[in-house]
Amino acid sequence: MRGLEQGSRLTIALRRARVRKGMCAFVTFHRVWENDMSATDMGMPPAEFETFLDAFSERYTLLQVGEAFKAHAQNTLPRNGLALTFDDGYADMSTVIAPILTRRELPATFFVATSFIGADEGLTVNQLTNLANNPLIEIGGHTRTHPHLSQLTSRQQYEEIAGNKSDLEALIGGPLVSFAYPYGGRADVNRSAIRTARKAGYLGACTTESLQIPEINVLCKGVNPYRTNRFATNRINPEELCRAIDYLGGLS
């Protein structure tokens, strides 16, 4: 019930506000349960997820993270852009999330850590390759073992970031252009990690850090042509987006 009420509130809020032309907000999810388990910080039931998708698809132009990074570089970001992202590499990316997105013809980016492939509750190689063959799904990098990158040496960071990129490219038979730092908070991502993501050949990389500024600025998470370092692109969770857009709606 909490999730559906929250989703309905988000629907109303999204009808009242827009991401400005030339911007793309990034929304981060982790899991969508295969049953009706209650929503947690790590996941939500399918009904709640679909409520969010109703709100997003009604108002926003959805695109993959790689598309957003390329458009940012070319200064061609759409009006009201929004990128859906999912982290880690759990099997529900294949069994729950992708079927819902495919039925609705909505694009998204799945960031996958090598260590999740073949692990308990993780994607199988076959599931990963099937996802990569779905034109609506972009596979992005997420390191080999999901470490706190700020605690590693620069060489270890490169092994994690570039190694994961090589691992996934070999499995899916194509290039990766987008990366998400594990955990993604201010204490988890240092300058060395950002330099390493660039060195590994990515177009950009995502964090999960909440902005420590007034909520009106929260919609600047994502990319815009004015003040964004693509290798420190902040993502927002649905709850934050709901609060921010409610605030903005109250100003109009």
pLDDT band at 219 (very low <50, low <70, confident <90, very high): very low
Residue ranges of the domains in the chain? Answer: 2-251
Residue range 2-251 forms a domain whose CATH class is alpha beta
Comparing 104 with 12, which gets the higher pLDDT?
Answer: 104
Nearest alpha-carbon partner for 10 in 222, 246, 224: 246
pLDDT of 202 higher than 80 = yes
What is the CA angle 65-68-69, rounded to 5?
A: 90
Determine the average pLDDT of the residues in 169-188.
95
pLDDT of residue 237: 80
The 10 Å Cβ neighbour count of residue 133 is 11
pLDDT of residue 204: 92
Name residue 92's amino acid: D
pLDDT of residue 185: 87
Q: Convert 60-77 to b/e letters by CB count within 10 Å (16 or more is b).
A: bbbbbbbbbbbbbeeeeb
Comparing 233 with 210, which gets the higher pLDDT?
Answer: 233
* Contact between residue 132 and residue 102 where contact means Cβ atoms under 8 Å apart: no
pLDDT of residue 1: 38
pLDDT band at 122 (very low <50, low <70, confident <90, very high): very high
Residue 87: its H or E element: strand 81-88
pLDDT band at 220 (very low <50, low <70, confident <90, very high): very low
**Global confidence as pTM:** 0.85
**With pLDDT > 90 as the criterion, what percentage of the chain qualifies?**
55
For residues 78 and 24, give the distance between their C-alpha atoms in angstroms, rounded to a whole number: 8
What is the CA angle 124-129-135, rounded to 5?
A: 135
Mean pLDDT taken over the chain: 82
Determine the average pLDDT of the residues in 135-158.
98
Residue 114 has φ and ψ, to the nearest 5°, of: -55, -40
Determine the average pLDDT of the residues in 96-100.
97
How many residues does this entry show for the chain?
A: 252
pLDDT band at 156 (very low <50, low <70, confident <90, very high): very high
Give the tens place of pLDDT for each residue, 14-28: 444 454 556 788 899
